A and B are shown apart, each in its own frame.
Chain A
Amino acid sequence: MDKTQSNSWVNVLLIVDKFRVFIIFLLLLVIASFISDAFFTVTNLFNVMRQVSIVGIIAVGMTLVILTAGIDLSVGSVMALTGAVVAGVMTAGMPIPIAILVCLIAGLIIGAFNGVVISKGNVPPFIATLAVMVIARGFTLVLTGGSPTIINDASYRVIGSGTLLGVPVPVVIMGVIFLIMYWVLKNTTFGRSIYAVGGNEEAARLAGINVDRVKIFVYSLTGMFAAVSAMIYTSRLMSAQPNAGTMLELDAIAAVIIGGTRLTGGKGGVIGTLIGALIMGVLDNILNLANVSPFYQEIAKGAVILAAVLLDSKLAKLNR
């Protein structure tokens, strides 16, 4: 009797622990429905998700990077640069598929460069990606000449503004990427290696895992996801902006951390990140619906990030 009771108490705590991001998210949704009747409408919810998609996709890559106990500060600049690339290629008269391919490859190459410098060059990820962040921004300015590059091919608009069976295309892209990466993390050698490298790099190496290769893969994927976001971004604006994606890396990191992935690696996953990104999106949306000034929105957003993480660490302690 006593024993089963204690076990169920433990189980409740474990469940709360496992789903604490979801619980925070649900709380937020409840609050949202009180603040505005407009919140729970299909149009509005799709709108929120579309806005989340750019950060969300990048945050998937960021999750992988953080799981290996790394960080990638270059994602915002990489998005700007690959955006400039895709616009540039189209301006040069190439068809859209070629432009997309070049854009993805560009992202992949920059990411791989990050990974090689970090693993082979033994440079701390923070420093390596900080440098690449600055370099990529510089290249963006060079490519765009400092002013927006306009995209004229109207069919390109589909990526950012089109719908597929009623669902916005960016939301579909984000959903597919999340699903694929969720599956990869769970069911592939590569996925499990990411957790091992972040949890204990030395033990991973001794288990025959090629640690350098895992890191290079992870940063490459992150670069490529930044390129995907770049396409959505440029398609929404039908232009490449030299200052696109400034501070975006911080939003992505915030989504990952709110989502419960541990900053020191080895623990977490993309589902949490998706919820984390949605939390931030919903928050923006509520504040807009409630007509809060954009200046105060920033303050509110920061406060919520802090509150979420504090709650998280409190719950974690309770659980011990």
Chain B
Amino acid sequence: MTLLTMKNITKEFFRVPVLHGVDLEIDRGEIVALLGENGAGKSTLMKIIAGVHEPTSGSIYLDGEEVTIDSPSDSQHKGISIIHQEFNLLPDISIMENIFLGRLPRKWGSFVRWNEMKEKTKALLERVGIGYLAPETSIRQCSIAEQQLIEIAKALSFDAELLIMDEPTATLNNEETERLLQLMEELKNKGMGVIFITHRLNEVMHAADRAVILRDGEFIGVKHVEETTQDELVAMMVGRELTDMFPEKKNHAGEEVLRVEHLHVKHQLEDIHFSVAGGEILGIAGLMGCGKSELSRALFGLYKLESGKVQVNGSTIQTPKDAIDAGLALVTDDRKSEGLVLDLSVAENILLPNYRLLSKRGVLPKKQLNEVVNVWFGNLAIKASSPQVEVNQLSGGNQQKVVLGKWLQTNPKVLILNEPTRGIDIGAKAEIYKRIERLAEEGMAIVLISSEMPEVLGLADRILVMSDGRISGELDRQEATQEKIFEYAIGGGSNG
């Protein structure tokens, strides 16, 4: 008996099909990867399993028996646990209360058994490899990776048989990812079924037994991992062969545009000193917490500098307004909470930093604005029915295009990209890489901050490696390798 079988699942919203005849099967002791570009229907499929949506047609079987899953709690009762991309943890209460939320162990019906809860939590945390955290710790004090593991611990506390994870590794660094994949392996060996959505194919090849591929809501196929290659999976996902992810590299550095002098930010950055020329792509690499995100914020005038200065073409930057006026643009790593106003339309989001630049004494020229929006909407090939659609309706890749569009319209001289392809599918990634390269060719200076080493190695002319808030090494394109970057990133390196 297979653990979960989904047959011929179809889902329509307002009679618009988003899933069409999808099959999915998973057994105990198996890891299945769910692959597909953004908008392929992966999340909808997950939500059907989670009981958030009901399928329009098709059948679901658990242990061979046909079932309907009519609510999230129903799905939980049936032994299914889902970990969404955005965690469902309450930041200000303890780990143990989060794990037992809504079902705290009690005596006499109303008094909490704190000790019992603490011990159970301890055991659960032990199982997922974060036994060093005290059960009383509040979620806010835990790292993203730890929060992820706490979510898994919570799933285990439900005695879940099927664990579903939506892009669990999107925000983890290499080390943390490794640990998570290992944990998945352990859960599998204990007889659980694990489904995970990911964009990173090496993880699929490494951890999954089978991969199910969706495209535009259609079921494309299922592959045993040992019988396939990354290239074949990519071809199935995008429906065409992707010959080369990274565009060809030309050297075209011009004059210095961005200059950072001995930057200090309390507890965050120490003596950061570098410059970038027009047409140059400067990569910044480093492990999570090394200060590379903080650096991007400091460049944009979001931190109070203890000393040092940031200059674009000679003008000093102290506030985001200065930054924009001087020609600096920042694409942050968190597009949902920093990059976009989700309830506003695509058009409004593109215009957001540009209202001030395009307006005449505060009044907006409607016609001109519409033209601007239409240019970017077409130029970036944003997939939405119109620019008036709210951004929250778009897939991650298209949201990222909106963020890119709004900054490109400001006509920046320096573009800072912080994790520009996080949570984005391969097709959209290649598109964004090409655009970055083209922008550099046109003379823009680009600062590319990324945890994905192939990305930095593939695009950057020069790489700065950060560790512990300072620059621990500099490599040019010829000498840079994954190993050398890693060595600097962990604080070692040849000169210190």
Contacts and interface: CB of A to CB of B under 8 A. Distances in A.
A9 to B, nearest CB: 6
A192 B351 contact: yes
B359 A200 contact: no
A208 B323 contact: yes
Interface string B308-348: 00000000000011011100001010000111111110001
Interface in A1-56: 2-3, 5-6, 9-10, 13
Given A9-B14, A204-B341, A195 B348 contact: yes
B103 interface: no
Interface stretch (A73-81, A183-191, A227-235): A183-191
A139 B214 CA distance: 68
Nearest to B385: A7
Q: Which of A189, A202, A209 has the most CB of B within 10 A?
A: A189
A9 B14 CA distance: 8
B315 to A, nearest CB: 15
Given A187-B363, A187-B366, A208 B321 contact: yes
Interface residues on A, range: 20 to 34
B362 interface: yes
Contacts of B330: 206
A204 B352 contact: yes
A205 B300 CA distance: 11
B381 interface: no
A6 B302 CA distance: 47
B339 A203 contact: yes
B224 interface: no
Given A9-B15, A193-B355, A210-B321, A199 B341 contact: yes
A2 B323 CA distance: 51
A70 interface: no
B399 to A, nearest CB: 12
Interface string A192-231: 1101100110111111111000000000000000000000
A267 interface: yes
B359 A206 contact: no
A195 B363 contact: no
B300 A200 contact: no
Interface in B357-391: 359, 362-364, 366
Given A187-B364, A208-B324, A196 B352 contact: yes
Contact of B362 (A190, A205, A209): A190
B362 A207 contact: no
A208 B320 contact: yes
A266 B341 contact: yes
A13 B15 CA distance: 13
A77 B127 CA distance: 59
A206 B338 contact: yes
Interface string A49-75: 000000000000000000000000000
B66 to A, nearest CB: 28
Nearest to B337: A202
A5 B355 contact: no
A260 to B, nearest CB: 13
B356 A208 contact: yes
B353 interface: yes
A3 B16 CA distance: 7
Contact of B341 (A9, A195, A210): A195
Contacts of A207: 320, 324, 352-353, 406
A205 B320 contact: yes
Contacts, number: 86
A192 B338 contact: no
A190 B361 CA distance: 10
Contact of A192 (B321, B324, B332, B355): B355
Contacts of B352: 192, 196, 203-204, 207, 209
Contacts of A187: 363-364, 366
A73 to B, nearest CB: 25
A206 B340 contact: no
A189 B358 CA distance: 9
Contacts of B342: 199-200
Contacts of A13: 14
Contacts of B14: 6, 9-10, 13
Contacts of A195: 341, 344, 348
B141 to A, nearest CB: 21
A189 B356 contact: yes
Given A196-B344, A206-B330, A208-B353, A188 B323 contact: no
Contacts of A210: 321
Contact of A206 (B16, B325, B332, B362): B332
Contacts of B355: 189, 192-193
A206 B332 CA distance: 9
Contacts of A202: 337-338
Interface in A56-112: none
Contacts of B320: 205-208
Nearest to A262: B343
B356 A200 contact: no
Given A6-B14, A192-B348, A200 B364 contact: no
A189 B341 contact: no
B362 A6 contact: no
Nearest to A267: B343
Interface string B82-98: 00000000000000000
Contact of A199 (B15, B343, B362): B343
Contacts of B353: 207-208
A187 B355 CA distance: 10
A110 B15 CA distance: 53
Contacts of B15: 2-3, 5-6, 9
What are the 10 A-B residue pairs with the smallest beta carbon separation, nearest first?
A: A6-B15, A199-B341, A207-B353, A208-B324, A207-B352, A200-B341, A189-B355, A208-B321, A189-B359, A10-B14
19 contacts: A3-B15, A6-B14, A9-B14, A9-B15, A187-B363, A189-B359, A189-B362, A193-B355, A195-B348, A196-B341, A199-B343, A200-B342, A203-B340, A204-B341, A206-B330, A206-B332, A208-B324, A208-B353, A266-B343
Given A192-B351, A192-B352, A208-B320, 6 more contacts: A9-B15, A187-B366, A188-B362, A199-B342, A200-B337, A204-B341
Interface of A: 2-3, 5-6, 9-10, 13, 187-190, 192-193, 195-196, 199-200, 202-210, 266-267
